Structure 1
Amino acid sequence: MSELAHFQRQFADGLAQPLAPAAPMRIYLNTVMLGAFDALAANFPVTQAILGERAFEALALAYARSHPPEQPILTLYGDRFPDWLAVQPIARELPYLADVARCEQLRGEALHAADAPVLTPVMLESVEPDRLLTLKLRLHPAARFAWLQSPAMAILQAHLDGFEGELAPEWKPGGALFTRPGTTPLGHTLDSPSHRLLGGIRLGERLGGAAQAASLLFPESPIGDCFGHLVRQGAFAAIHC
């Protein structure tokens, strides 16, 4: 038998053999789970620190199995992780955990958001007071905020600052704001009037209308001061005067 005929016979015999178990596919799936776990650990480091490595690994892998990555880039993977955590049994033991994860999600979104000039107090100095109230401001692309039912921002900030010891923050609802006036996201606590002001502006209200609505809801709060704080924190995109 010629070498060519021998090769053809071997080739045909090989095709006739049953397929071996799909080990490469199992390796691929394991790689996907590993990538998803690594992404969650990178995106939610404080959540991992609160839970501990073993508990976080178990929860992260369970989430990855029920919500496998849909995109090859895992930078923002885990957008549903906080809501998923909120309905897990661990939420009964750690009722602030989902809110902490939600803050980390907002912080990650602020980090990877588009760049844009930030509105500064200097830019507003040349705006006439009457015109100021008619401005239709835009939130900065990196601004992210939410209202939470736990002191999650205090817990998150303590972990980011390297606090060691037992945390005992006052248990009350509060807001979280993340901005990125430079290259690093900054976290801020958000009170109710400021949250209403930001919410109105996000919905398209003019500054005067948003400020009036916040003032009616919270008549004892200096809404002008709230707005000034938000400007200094980098919550708004620059305007062209």
Structure 2
Amino acid sequence: MINGLFNLENKVAFITGGGKGLGFQIAEAFASAGCHIAICSRKRETCQESAGKLADKYNIKAMGYGCNIQSEDEVKTVVEQVLGDFGQVDILVNNSGATWGAAFEEMPLEAWQKVMNVNLTGTFLMTREVGKHMITRRTGKIINIGSAAGVKAEPPEVLNAVGYSTSKAAIHHFTRDLARKWAQHNIYVNAIAPGFFPSDMTKHVLSKKGEEIKQHNPLGRIGDDHALQGAALFFASPASDFVTGQVLSVDGGSTL
């Protein structure tokens, strides 16, 4: 009974930014539960390589795609491709993200717009297109990747990226609002707000402030390669069938 709560056999998950980092960790957690995997990013070759590894290791169907989620046309095209290849999408993970580190007064407009276009508009576009399919089937789980930075303001010496923080706070409210709107379609919308994890996006900050960040974290550490997987599997699986519109912080207590 309990094992069945986390079973994803014969489900299909579509994960943006799933070729590496946190997105790939989530994809692997789903694949280990029997889920078929579609992953996309701007680097199609990376996604195809990662998909091949998942297919070989877990004996599931996995495919990689190229997509710039800032482009409405590319989002529509890749969703059509995934539906053509898999026949359905049961789980959508909006993981693709961008950041820009700079003092607010020095942030160029184009940097602000890029962060908003990737983190917020890209999530809107992908959710809208996949959501149309989910509404037709009257089922679906959507997981948005927010951030602890969208919950708590950090001092500039730790994180100086107001555009990123603002975009992630918007993702949290987007999650709540859409969950309320789409509950009538039996579509669940939840979010995960990770704290500091090793990734391409955080490597500069962690290289300079990693030990200080650990010292100020209640659990005394940063996230590892598995710390996000349980939360993602919970939101994707039947275990969360009475949970929607929630933002779960996975941060070692840093937002307390």
TM-score grouping bracket, smaller chain normalisation: under 0.3
Greater share of residues in helix? 1
TM superposition score normalised by structure 1: 0.25
More strand by share: 2
TM-score w.r.t. structure 2 length?
Answer: 0.24
